[in-house]
Structure 1
Amino acid sequence: MKNIQYCLLLLLLAPGFLHAQQRWDLKSCLSYGLKYHRSTRVYQNEKIAANEKAKEALASYLPSIEGTGGLADNIKPQVSIIPAGLFSPTDMKVAFTKRYNTSTQVELNQPIFDQSAIIGLKANKYNKETADLNIRNNDEALIYNISNAYYQVHIYQLQLMLLHANEETYREQLRISELGVSKGVTAEVDLNKIRVNYNNTMSDINVAERNLEQVSLQLKNEMGYPLSEALLIDTLTLTSTLPVPETQRPDTFQVDNRSDFLLSKAKASLLDINAKQTRAGKLPTLSLYARYGSNGFGDKLGQSFSSQNTFSVIGLTLKVPIFNGFKKNAQYQQARIDLLNAQENMKLDADKYKVEYENAKTKLVKAEANVANDNRNIELARSVFESTNLQYQKGVTDLTDWLNAQNSLKEAQNNYLNSLYSFYTARIDLEKANGTLKEYYNSL
């Protein structure tokens, strides 16, 4: 029975244990961030708000119905004067109301023609488009930021792997040199030189570990992942990090691929609508209205409710702007200038984005070449060190050559890590410049 209970407990705990041990690759990190980062909810809410704004704009051209009611207590009713000679040889003071007055009314208004409101309805399309583009722009920002943080984690993981390998090399040499000193065949100064390099390597490991903790925290933040929970990232090897050689990249740049450019286009369209709407404000408007209500009067409160007199009316309202001190003209000219500036800025942005793309493409080609070259240098430096190490063990060369070979290997490793990170950033920069970050994510 105890064994059965133990097995059931393991089955219950297994999903949580597996989740805790999950290794996250880049696609998993991006998928999590796109789903759970708080900014995603913000822009989804803005899309809902844009839909509601469209309903609000449409409501301005739909019928509106309003009901009103009132109760007045004329504590001292106002009187009017009927001049002498009409009903009396003297002036007569008459109150045309009673103490209590009640009224109710229902009014319907229906716009028939309002060119400004009609043009304003066209803005709904671009408001919704702007909301969708903001979501896409936010997704691209998440992909870019998460990818950069993820690559930094990998670089520090690789650095630690190489540093620990160097640590083992120095530790083994320390063991051999300490044995040589105890036997009197190795000088104490040579042992100290190795200790210095070993201690420097341990310091580098401590720095790299702290850096890894920082970039891991940054990755969690970019993903919207709980900062207090563990996040295990896939560990790469040197060979698996090498970029795949590519043929000449086709020039696929189109400025309309970029969400930020499309946002500028949508905003320019809204400015165009605003200018037309402002100009249409000088046109007449026509609306239909209908009212139905009742009112009652009485010297006592109850009489004002019981003696109701109904009324109804239907009619048209025509409003013709005649003169407003050139206010509308000034507003239209401002709106037109805003539109012209937006169009000019779009042309400037198009050229700027093209330059960004060309620079990013050049940067990536150089980065690929640097990674391949620095990888070959690592192999050469490792070969030189292994040869020097063998010669040192045989007593053919001295410790200085051994240390120089080891330092050359460390330098080659550092150069490779720098060029590898430059390659990663160049690749993601090219996807951003080309407006294809979502395609990059889908291809992972």
Structure 2
Amino acid sequence: MDSIIRLSNIRSPCGQFSYFCAMIKRFILLSFTFFFSILIAAQDKWDLRKCVEYALVNNISVKQADVQARFSELTYKQNKAARLPSLNFGGSIGYRFGRSENPTTGVLEDNNFLSTGMQLQSQVSLFNWFSQKNTIEASRLQNEADKEQVKKTQNDVALNIAVAYLQILLAREQVNLANVKIQQTKTQLEVARKKVAAGILPEIESANLEAQLAVDSSSLVAVQTSADQSVLLLKALLNMDAAFPFDIETPSVDLIPLLPLADLQPELVYALATANLPQQKVNDLLLLSAQKNVAASRGAMYPSVSAFGGLSTNYVDIKVPEYQVGPKTATGATVNVGGTDYDVVAPSFIQVGERIIPLGRQFRNNFGQNVGIGLNIPILNGKLARTNWERSKLNVRVYELQKEQAQQQLKQDIYTAYTNAVAAMQKFNADKKTVETSAKVYEFALKRYDVNLLSTYDLIISQNNLQSARFQALYSQYDYVFKMKLLEFYRGQGLKL
């Protein structure tokens, strides 16, 4: 079908009907395409790798760090370009009144005239005690530090993504447990109602189970809300619209690979972290940059030598007299040639008018050049140069302390992470045993309940104890996994689920 509906066809009833049908078809096609794309997006589940890759491109913190790195790169390029000779062209045009200096002759004249001039100036630094060289090197190191800062920000974002991802998995496991609990309570409620109807149990037994079912339903709503909020948190870290259809892969926590704890000893992890983590490289580069700034500021206190040169020319529209050669006239002097005196004559000049010398000729006649060497010796400048030097030395001390503090904090964090991982593993093992014991107790309680040897209240208590033990064991397992992954992250293994 032709995609262009001609106006001539719309004027007729048949054309209007065809136009209406075409619009309906287009609307249906667009709607189908829109909903199909949403359906495809909803079915496309994201694993941790995809989430991290998306975040590294779209996260705001990463973008901010990248912008800062670009700023420092521009500074570095500008400092490198400062070594090249400067070249500047200037021009002026103006009208002068009264007694003014004629720029072409340098003579003060009582005249009104239009003047214009052009200059081309160049200057280059010859020697400045390596101040410029050290400034360039400091800016290069600063730029390298900012690039490493981008990597650090990416690592931090990836770690936060992993935490949010695990939080979703935990919340969904809790939702599954809550659903299982509701199904168990519903089954027990059906059995209790039958026994109450048969007169085997009093009505309070079924009422207790109905109350427990309401509690279980409330718990399900709470954990489902927590799961939804965890998804929103992950979307925020991804800088993704909250309304975007989004779901993640849900691998079993039992299948998440973990390095043996023996391979994550704190001394080994600290050595690898010091060599590989971007934050340590940032501190090293910032310290080196500060040291170069000290050398640059010290060089600024000494004399500097530069070379300069320029071209210039001027033009004025002042009229100058125009002369014509006239008849020869005697000067009153004589000259003796061969014993005979002759009068000395000279040509006469008669002013016949005034004219303005053409622009091109004036530019050629007034064209001048200059070249030289300049010496700049700082003597008294309000202690600006010395203060900058002293300040740069203090900056070195600041970065030394910052580096030392970062190393101490990293070591403390790694040892703390290792201790927490050991404790989390022990707690997880203990919670697993608690689940096994609670499951056996619940199994015995259910058997006694089936033969009317246990009240509904006691059964609910046993069931709640089992549910609580399962929730706690699930939380402990995810906590253990996260703490192990944190150690792997420090070790340089990356984040893998």
TM-score (norm 1): 0.86
Instruction: Structure 1 unaligned segments of length 5 or more: list them.
Output: 1-8, 81-92
Displacement of 1:253: 1.0
Residue identity opposite 1:59 in structure 2: A
CA contact (8 A) 1:100 1:304 kept: no
Aligned residue for 2:270, secondary structure, equals coil
Aligned pairs (5 A) from 1:359-370: 359-370=416-427
Displacement of 1:11: 12
Residue identity opposite 2:359 in structure 1: F
Aligned residue for 1:359, secondary structure, equals helix
Tell me how far apart the structure 1 counterparts of residues 407 and 42 of structure 2 sit (CA, whole Å).
46
Q: Which residue of 2 aligns with 1:253?
A: 270
Q: Of 19, 24, 28, which aligns to 2:50?
A: 28
Q: Which residue of 2 aligns with 1:403?
A: 460
Kindly tell me: are residues 181 and 347 of structure 1, through their superposed partners in 2, closer, same or farther at Cα, counting changes over 3 Å?
Answer: same
Displacement of 1:366: 1.2
Q: Which residue of 1 aligns with 2:122?
A: 108
Q: Which residue of 2 aligns with 1:6?
A: none
Instruction: Structure 2 unaligned segments of length 5 or more: list them.
Output: 1-30, 320-354
Q: Which residue of 2 aligns with 1:384?
A: 441
Tell me how far apart the structure 2 counterparts of residues 277 and 426 of structure 1 sit (CA, whole Å).
46
Give deviations 1:286-322, integer Å, cap 9, x for gaps.
1111111211233269658352311111111111223
CA contact (8 A) 1:147 1:428 kept: no
Q: Of 194, 199, 207, which aligns to 2:209?
A: 194
Kindly tell me: are residues 430 and 74 of structure 1, through their superposed partners in 2, closer, same or farther at Cα, counting changes over 3 Å?
Answer: same
Q: Which residue of 2 aligns with 1:52?
A: 74
Kindly tell me: are residues 276 and 245 of structure 1, through their superposed partners in 2, closer, same or farther at Cα, counting changes over 3 Å?
Answer: closer
Aligned residue for 1:232, secondary structure, equals coil
Displacement of 1:17: 4.3
Q: Which residue of 2 aligns with 1:414?
A: 471
Displacement of 1:47: 3.3
Q: Which residue of 1 aligns with 2:428?
A: 371
Following TM superposition, where does structure 1 have runs of at least 4 consecutive aligned residues deviating by more than 6 angstroms? 9-16, 241-244
Are 2:409 and 1:352 equivalent residues in the alignment?
Answer: yes
Give deviations 1:368-413, integer Å, cap 9, x for gaps.
2222321232233223212321221123433343222202101201
Q: Which residue of 2 aligns with 1:288?
A: 307
Aligned residue for 1:70, secondary structure, equals strand
Aligned pairs (5 A) from 1:29-428: 29-78=51-100, 95=109, 99-114=113-128, 115-237=130-252, 239-240=254-255, 246-247=261-262, 249-250=264-265, 251-254=268-271, 255-299=274-318, 303=357, 305-306=359-360, 307-308=362-363, 309-428=366-485
Residue identity opposite 2:99 in structure 1: P
For the aligned residue pairs, the C-alpha RMSD in angstroms reads: 2.9
Residue identity opposite 2:396 in structure 1: L
Which of 338-347 and 304-313 deviates more? 304-313
Which of 31-40 and 343-352 deviates more? 31-40
Kindly tell me: are residues 240 and 180 of structure 1, through their superposed partners in 2, closer, same or farther at Cα, counting changes over 3 Å?
Answer: farther
Displacement of 1:238: 6.5
Tell me how far apart the structure 2 counterparts of residues 245 and 279 of structure 1 sit (CA, whole Å).
53
Aligned residue for 1:102, secondary structure, equals strand
Q: Which residue of 2 aligns with 1:5?
A: none
Aligned residue for 1:144, secondary structure, equals helix
Bigger strand fraction: 2
CA contact (8 A) 1:24 1:232 kept: yes
Which of 126-135 and 323-332 deviates more? 323-332
Displacement of 1:162: 0.4
Tell me how far apart the structure 2 counterparts of residues 346 and 219 of structure 1 sit (CA, whole Å).
32
Displacement of 1:161: 0.3
Which of 319-328 and 148-157 deviates more? 319-328
CA contact (8 A) 1:98 1:298 kept: no
CA contact (8 A) 1:367 1:423 kept: yes
Displacement of 1:328: 2.3
Displacement of 1:51: 2.8
Kindly tell me: are residues 330 and 246 of structure 1, through their superposed partners in 2, closer, same or farther at Cα, counting changes over 3 Å?
Answer: closer
Give deviations 1:149-195, integer Å, cap 9, x for gaps.
11111111000100100100100111111111122111112112212
Tell me how far apart the structure 1 counterparts of residues 370 and 256 of structure 2 sit (CA, whole Å).
82
Kindly tell me: are residues 94 and 280 of structure 1, through their superposed partners in 2, closer, same or farther at Cα, counting changes over 3 Å?
Answer: closer
CA contact (8 A) 1:72 1:102 kept: yes
Kindly tell me: are residues 253 and 259 of structure 1, through their superposed partners in 2, closer, same or farther at Cα, counting changes over 3 Å?
Answer: same
CA contact (8 A) 2:442 2:459 kept: yes
Residue identity opposite 1:106 in structure 2: L
Aligned residue for 2:100, secondary structure, equals coil
Aligned residue for 1:312, secondary structure, equals strand
TM-score (norm 2): 0.77
Tell me how far apart the structure 1 counterparts of residues 134 and 169 of structure 2 sit (CA, whole Å).
54
CA contact (8 A) 1:77 1:99 kept: no
Tell me how far apart the structure 2 counterparts of residues 16 and 398 of structure 1 sit (CA, whole Å).
51
Give deviations 1:225-267, integer Å, cap 9, x for gaps.
3321222222355744696764453322133433223222222
Residue identity opposite 1:222 in structure 2: L
Residue identity opposite 1:61 in structure 2: R
Which of 278-287 and 387-396 deviates more? 387-396
Aligned residue for 1:122, secondary structure, equals helix
Displacement of 1:416: 1.2
Number of residue-to-residue matches in the alignment: 420
Kindly tell me: are residues 191 and 121 of structure 1, through their superposed partners in 2, closer, same or farther at Cα, counting changes over 3 Å?
Answer: same
Give deviations 1:23-47, integer Å, cap 9, x for gaps.
2222222222223334434433433
Q: Which residue of 2 aligns with 1:4?
A: none
Tell me how far apart the structure 2 counterparts of residues 189 and 163 of structure 1 sit (CA, whole Å).
24
